[in-house]
Amino acid sequence: MRQRLCSLLALIALLAAACSGDSTDSTADNAAEATTTEAPATTAAPETTAEPTTTTESTTTTAAPLADLELLGAGPYDVGVVTIEIANDANERPLTVDVWMPLVDGTTGDPHEYTLIAGSYYPSPEAISATPDALATDGPFPLVLYSHGSGGLRYIHSSYTETIASHGYLVVAPDHTGNTAVDVIAGSGTDPELTAWNRVNDARAVLDAMTDPANEVTAPFQAAIDPERIAVTGHSFGGFTAHAIVSGFSSTFGSVEGDDRVGAIISLAPFTRPILDDEQLAAIDVPNLLIGASDDITTPVDPNVDDPWELAVSEDAARVVLVGAEHESFTDVCKMVEALPEIDTVAPFVVEALEARTEAGCDPDDLQIDRVEDLTETFAVSFLDTIFKGGQMIDPDAVALPDDALYERRGF
């Protein structure tokens, strides 16, 4: 379980939200009445020899109890992080991108500092700052793109991105310029339609750069990336990003075709309705995993998880609803708030704004964050390993699922 040490950077969590028959059993007892008939008296009853009776005992076979769901936790690789800049030519603005990578054994370094502005950061308890020459050499690895929620930042869910990388994936996450916490604070955020258009272009630009051997910025990563194994995952508005990059998206700003390089998607408390219509949701034909929160009132399960589950035509698909979780349960907001007492100086408006976000996931009555992390990471890594590494997706007929994870799947 992670104990995150936050600093003034805690304000990154601002506005991480996307946008704003009973049956009755009856038993019939049909016992027939017994009728006794007296036999006539006889003076000498003939002797009879009874045939021996063989009694066969019925054997009841009890199925062995199902094994408990095994929580995966961190994988076998240490994780390094490096921050790069990637150009988004379609929207003519640079993208700040974090790259989480599995490291070769024995790599050492300082805890990575997730930095908002110079002098304002929090150190990762798991990942170190590293350079591409420290990448593990047993790749190439699948590439996973993470898209943050509205008003978030690229590392708003670093516990998630770090864990995926530790299981042998190269994970990249851009700041969606115009829709980050910095933009919200500065009052420079873009309207939702432009934000949606930008997000899909951002995702394509990052995938273009990370799979382009001629790109000078990403060239050091090329040998470690398998361009035939790509997934996109995201939270809230980032869940929209994951769906829209596969389905394609149109707005007054133009149209973006679906990207056939993407082989799987995972969306966490996704924002899908009404921004995506039935036709777009029905265009999702790649393996997909939907994870929602039962108490989410920002992007409720119905319709934001239910509709994609019903309309997608993916042969392999799964959905999980975490009972007692809320919208911010899929970010690191709660861990940041826990660390506030350890911070010497934090601007009061930051504390006030951050604590306001805790209403959507950090209440003692909510599903605890450590538990949300464990379940989310277990289902996500199992899904990715099944699609890209020949693993076996969690089978509800073979595993005793906990009461706080409502799970169903098809295919696999």
pLDDT score of 348: 56
φ, ψ (nearest 5 deg) of residue 279: -65, -40
Q: Is residue 173 part of a domain?
A: yes
pLDDT score of 282: 98
Q: Give the pLDDT confidence of 391-401 residue by residue, as tens digits.
A: 999 999 999 99
Mean pLDDT across the chain: 84
**Token pair recorded at residue 190:** 């873009």
DSSP string, 307-322: HHHHH---SSEEEEEE
Q: Is residue 184 part of a domain?
A: yes
Q: Which residue has the higher pLDDT, 347 or 142?
A: 142
* Cis status, amide bond into 213, omega within 30 of 0: no
Q: Is residue 7 part of a domain?
A: no
Q: Is residue 17 part of a domain?
A: no
pLDDT score of 95: 95
Quick one: DSSP state of residue 341? G
Is residue 381 a contact partner of residue 164, using CB atoms and an 8 Å limit?
yes
Q: Is residue 28 part of a domain?
A: no
Say how many domains are in the chain.
1
Most confident of 23-32, 52-61, 107-116, 346-355: 107-116
Q: Is residue 59 part of a domain?
A: no
Distances (CA, A) of 3 to 158, 263, 334, 396: 12, 33, 11, 31
pLDDT score of 355: 59
Q: Of 249, 231, 62, 252, which is closest to residue 160 (Cα–Cα)? A: 231
In the predicted model, what is the mean pLDDT of residues 154-166? 96
CATH number at residue 267: 3.40.50.1820
pLDDT score of 358: 64
Is residue 115 a contact partner of residue 125, using CB atoms and an 8 Å limit?
no
The confidence band for 37, taking pLDDT boundaries of 50, 70 and 90, is: very low
For the cut 90, the answer to whether the pLDDT of residue 297 exceeds it is: yes
In 345-392, alpha helices (H): 348-357, 369-389
End-to-end CA distance of the chain: 30
Q: Give the pLDDT confidence of 76-129 residue by residue, as tens digits.
A: 999 999 999 998 887 778 899 999 999 999 999 999 988 755 556 777 889 999
For the cut 80, the answer to whether the pLDDT of residue 266 exceeds it is: yes
* Cis status, amide bond into 274, omega within 30 of 0: yes
Q: Assign 297 to helix, strand or coil.
A: coil
Q: In terms of residue numbers, what domain contains 112?
A: 79-410
**How, if at all, do strands 141-147 and 254-256 pair?**
unpaired
pLDDT score of 250: 93
Question: Vertex 327, ends 97 and 330: CA angle to 5°?
Answer: 45
Q: Is residue 74 part of a domain?
A: no
Q: Is residue 275 part of a domain?
A: yes
Give the DSSP H/E element, type plus range, for residue 239. helix 237-247
> Mutual orientation of helices 192-210 and 237-247 as an angle, nearest 10°?
60
Percent share of the chain, pLDDT over 70: 78
How far is Cα 79 from Cα 126, in angstroms, rounded to an integer?
7
What are the percentages of helix, strand and coil residues in the chain, rounded to 5? 30, 25, 45
In the predicted model, what is the mean pLDDT of residues 176-189? 85
The confidence band for 233, taking pLDDT boundaries of 50, 70 and 90, is: very high
The confidence band for 407, taking pLDDT boundaries of 50, 70 and 90, is: very high
